[in-house]
Amino acid sequence: MNMSACPLCRGTMKEAEVPYAYAGVPLGRFPAEVCQRCGETFFTEPGWLRIERLAREKGLWGAGSRVKVGYSGHSLILRIPGKLAAATDLKKGTTVYLQPAGKGKLLVERTSGT
């Protein structure tokens, strides 16, 4: 890659091994260049190829999905697509904890014991 200047702020770039998580799942450390001024990270092509391969192996690549909110009685419901359920190891009967994670975001966490 060897950028001489950050394409965003023109700051100095430095090579580094940077941790990366895909869909909240840590995949490891990968070669990148990091701007010393703005902190922006640019992964190398081989780094991105490794990230994609690992995300695919873990069933995470393309697991995100757009769904519509439905109604059931007095509650709103969401259907979790099978690929996303498999990637997050959610199964029928699993108890989850829901909480807001910012404006327009919802965090779903499996609770212990299920």
Q: Please write the tens of the pLDDT for every residue from 74-113.
A: 999 999 888 788 877 889 999 999 999 888 888 888 887 6
Q: Which domain holds residue 75?
A: 70-110
Is position 3 within any domain? no
pLDDT tens for each residue of 33-76: 999 999 999 999 999 999 999 998 888 887 778 899 999 999 99
Same structural domain, 23 and 52: yes
Q: What pLDDT digit, counting tens, does each position of 8-35 carry?
A: 999 999 999 999 998 778 999 999 999 9
Claim to verify: residue 18 and residue 51 sit in the same structural domain: yes
For residues 90 and 72, is the Cβ–Cβ distance under 8 A?
no
Q: Are residues 77 and 51 in the same domain?
A: no
- For residues 50 and 76, state if they share a domain: no
**Cα angle: 90, vertex 28, 99; to 5 degrees:** 40
Is residue 8 a part of any domain in this protein?
no
Residue 98 lies in a domain: yes
Q: In the chain, how many domains are there?
A: 2
Q: What are phi and psi of 71, to 5 degrees?
A: -125, 140
pTM for this entry: 0.58
Q: How would DSSP label each residue in 30-87?
A: EEEEEETTT--EEE-HHHHHHHHHHHHHTT-TT-------EEETTEEE-PPPHHHHHH
